[in-house]
């Protein structure tokens, strides 16, 4: 059965391009982006891993670790990493899992036989420090992932985990957020002292609580 939002991410031990890891140990107290690729030496995925490496500082400042997966062996990963570093002008500094048995792919629902004849589709999971799955996105092989959107969603997930708010369509850091329906209107001034505006009784906005 495929994972759903709110499920506990399955733990696993695997060989990677950086040695053997236990996934829960790797997560630790961090957020994690786990994403899969149909195979090594594929063009779109080469650009994606390069983009991920180039955003290492952005992930780090959000306390996010990254880990990738394909069903190819570690030796093949190592050669592909060299190509990525060369062609994308980066240094891949996160592990690539070798899931030759497809046990991890199956546990995470990464295999969509009707969508890809290379078995693993390009799925992405954001996992919180409590090991709960917070985001699942699956892309077709022909469409590269938008990593700015992934960073935006992580910002939203981390903000809404700490405050009783939600983020509206196209929200970006520093913009107004929606007051959660669980907060009574009369309680908003005390909980959100920066102010608020009421568009409808169910649609209340307030400045982002943790912005300066």
- Please state whether beta strands 133-139 and 64-70 pair in parallel, antiparallel, or not at all (unpaired): unpaired
Catalytic residue (choose from 14, 32, 33, 45): 45
Is 45 catalytic? The answer is yes
Residues tagged active-site: 45
């Amino acid at each position: 059965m495929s994972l759903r939002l709110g499920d506990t991410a399955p733990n696993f031990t695997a060989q990677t391009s950086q040695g053997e890891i236990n996934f829960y140990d790797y997560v630790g107290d961090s957020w994690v982006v786990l994403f899969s690729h149909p195979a090594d030496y594929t063009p779109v995925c080469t650009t994606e891993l390069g983009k991920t490496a180039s955003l290492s500082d952005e992930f780090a400042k959000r306390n996010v670790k990254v880990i990738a997966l394909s069903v190819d062996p570690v030796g093949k990963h190592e050669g592909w990493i060299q190509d990525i570093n060369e062609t994308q002008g980066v240094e891949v500094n996160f592990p690539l899992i070798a899931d030759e048995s497809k046990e991890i792919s199956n546990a995470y629902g990464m295999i969509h036989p009707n969508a890809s004849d290379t078995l693993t589709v390009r799925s992405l999971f954001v996992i919180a420090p409590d090991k709960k799955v917070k985001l699942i996105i699956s892309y077709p092989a022909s469409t590269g992932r938008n990593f700015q959107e992934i960073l935006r969603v992580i910002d939203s997930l981390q903000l809404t985990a700490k405050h009783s708010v939600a983020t509206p369509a196209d929200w970006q850091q520093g913009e107004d957020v929606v007051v959660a329906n669980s907060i009574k209107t009369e309680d908003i001034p005390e909980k959100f002292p920066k102010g608020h505006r009421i568009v409808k009784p169910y649609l209340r906005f307030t400045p982002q609580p943790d912005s300066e």
